[in-house]
Structure 1
Amino acid sequence: MLDQTEANIQELKSQQESLIEQKEQLENQLNQFQVNYEQIEQEKNRLHNVVMGLSQDQKLTTKLKAKLENEIAQLEQKLINEEQIKIQLAQALQIKENKINELEQRLINLDYERIKKLVGKRKELSEIEKELINKLTCGENTKEIHKEKEAKQKEMNELKQELASTSASYNANRKKQVLNQVNNFLKTKGDFLISREEAIKKLQNCCNRLEIFTNKERIAFGFVKDMVSVEDKISKIKFADKYTKEFQNILTKYNDGLLQLNKNFYSLRNIVQENKELEVSLAIENILKLDSFNLDKYKIFKFATNSQEGNRTQLNSSMMAEDIDSLRKNLNELKSEIKQEKKELKNLATD
């Protein structure tokens, strides 16, 4: 039975190594797609700015605008495709991570099973040793009994060594499991901050385009103030509504990352609780302040107060800028926090 358990452990370790390698490949692909996505996004924004900068009296403006807008539409479709690929890769990566976590738990369970069997075997040997000692005490001081006692003592010593080794492996795997959950949590947190940074860039771009449009309108209206028609005013309102909607849609989209962050937090907290007798668990609980974790400080609408969720009030560029500044300040605070956490956690894996 012990040999079979050992064989199972080795098989699981081999599977785990293979899965970790596959996971790393997926992570590399995902990182590359992120780079591609950002490059396409930058090009799209550049073209948007070119379109916004065109003045009405330029030759071929209409034709040029149409050409640029067509290019922008193509880039937007490309971004949608890239986004779908990213989602698929992220899902595949999550599946691999789940399988790795399952294998880690199975390894821990097998170690625990092996420990129980070894403890049972030790108890059995201890009883045999007692019987042999009783026989010797009762005068059955034969050569065979001495020989058997020595053999059992040797077996007991080997068993103790194996038990110590398996117990060390058991605790090491539990510690590894806890640290892996910490890494998953920090990675999710880091990804969330990257996503928030991406959101701020998009919000800033939206704000800039509204400001460019507003300035152009202000200049135009300044020259022909008395000639501003109702249609012009309606057009201005429509543009403001368009950018308000775009701004709030960006906020809503980038608020969705909270789900994974919250999920990984609870996974980490549960693992820490299950292994609370380990020193590393106490250290992690203190460093990451798990008891006082507050999801509110990650909620985008907690800081974008001019753009409250569900609020369709028309925003001007100043209101947008206020929300962006608030989000940027929050982002910097969260970056400082994760930097400090990583610094304090750095030595735990090697202790």
Structure 2
Amino acid sequence: MNEIDKELLNILSSGKNTSKIHKEKKVKQKEMEEFKQEFSRTSASYNANRKKWVFKQVNNFLKAKGDFLTLQEEAIEKLQNCCNYLESSVNKERNTVSSTRNMKTSEFTDKYTKEFQNIFVEYNNGLLELDKKFSSLKETVQENKELEVSFMIGNILKLNSYSFNKYKIKFSTNFQRGTRIQLNFDIRSLRKNLNELKLELTQETKELKNLAEN
């Protein structure tokens, strides 16, 4: 029993006029209701801001993933160009004398190696940036795990089972004929994997957009 109720009970027991105490009680009740409403508004505003922050990290990750897939596509094109160039060059050298062929073959090897080194530098930088955005997103979702959207985001992006192995490029680094054939096969596999990742990103973006709008 609060103080006003106790006072009201005492007044009733003594037979005194209770109108004043009733007014005070109504004022207190009104103040309490206003406090509850303000607390509710503040809490809702706080959660809304947290939700915005979570989705900001989501958008950062999706952008990094899109940028990385663009970089991956460019890397595959460069790989294909290198492979085509080497195949064409080796075919042209078949009719040259042995010493000249060996010298030019060495030049092709150097060019091939340099091209691939440049590709890997760009690709690995993109992969590091993607990993950075992913870590930031996962940490933010964990910090706001009591929000319903955090749980749903985790499910859509499969944050707890996410693997970067699907982004790694594996291919031969030798341009001998047998390995060039393997390289062409590797490039086809990379293209197939890239298309699957693009579809995955499109689906994730669609689901997360719907989630943000609800």
The question of a shared fold, defined as TM-score above 0.5 by the shorter chain, is answered with yes
Q: 2:39 corresponds to which residue? A: 163
Displacement after TM superposition at 1:195 (Å): 0.8
Q: 1:80-121: per-residue Cα shift (whole Å, max 9, x none)?
A: xxxxxxxxxxxxxxxxxxxxxxxxxxxxxxxxxxxxxxxxxx
Is it true that 1:323 corresponds to 2:186 in the alignment?
yes
CA contact (8 A) 1:240 1:315 kept: no
Displacement after TM superposition at 1:196 (Å): 0.5
2:86 to 177, 195, 210: 210
Q: 1:235 corresponds to which residue? A: 104
Displacement after TM superposition at 1:241 (Å): 3.3
Percentage of pairs with the same residue: 60
Q: 2:135 corresponds to which residue? A: 266
RMSD: 2.2
Displacement after TM superposition at 1:255 (Å): 2.3
Is it true that 1:182 corresponds to 2:43 in the alignment?
no
Q: 1:296 corresponds to which residue? A: 165
Unpaired stretches in structure 2, ≥5 consecutive residues: none
Q: 2:4 corresponds to which residue? A: 132
Displacement after TM superposition at 1:143 (Å): 4.0
Is it true that 1:173 corresponds to 2:49 in the alignment?
yes
CA contact (8 A) 1:206 1:246 kept: yes
* Structure 1 residues 322 and 245: alpha-carbon distance in aligned structure 2, compared to 1, 3 A threshold: farther
Displacement after TM superposition at 1:134 (Å): 1.3
* Structure 1 residues 134 and 299: alpha-carbon distance in aligned structure 2, compared to 1, 3 A threshold: same
Q: Secondary structure at the match of 1:138?
A: helix
| 1:77-96 map, 5 Å | none
Unpaired stretches in structure 1, ≥5 consecutive residues: 1-128, 308-312
| 1:1-351 map, 5 Å | 130-139=2-11, 141-218=17-94, 221=95, 228-300=97-169, 303-304=170-171, 306-307=172-173, 313-314=174-175, 317-351=180-214
**Separation of aligned partners in 2, 1:349 and 1:249:** 39
Displacement after TM superposition at 1:142 (Å): 4.4
Amino acid at match of 1:180: K
CA contact (8 A) 1:189 1:261 kept: yes
- TM-score, normalisation: structure 2: 0.85
Q: Which has the higher contact order (CA 8 A, sep 6+)?
A: 2
**Separation of aligned partners in 2, 1:249 and 1:323:** 19
Amino acid at match of 1:346: K
**Separation of aligned partners in 1, 2:121 and 2:186:** 14
Displacement after TM superposition at 1:200 (Å): 1.3
Amino acid at match of 1:133: D
CA contact (8 A) 2:83 2:184 kept: yes
**Separation of aligned partners in 2, 1:209 and 1:323:** 16
Q: Secondary structure at the match of 2:124?
A: coil
Q: How many residues align?
A: 208
Q: 1:14-62: per-residue Cα shift (whole Å, max 9, x none)?
A: xxxxxxxxxxxxxxxxxxxxxxxxxxxxxxxxxxxxxxxxxxxxxxxxx
* Structure 1 residues 315 and 136: alpha-carbon distance in aligned structure 2, compared to 1, 3 A threshold: farther
- TM-score, normalisation: structure 1: 0.54
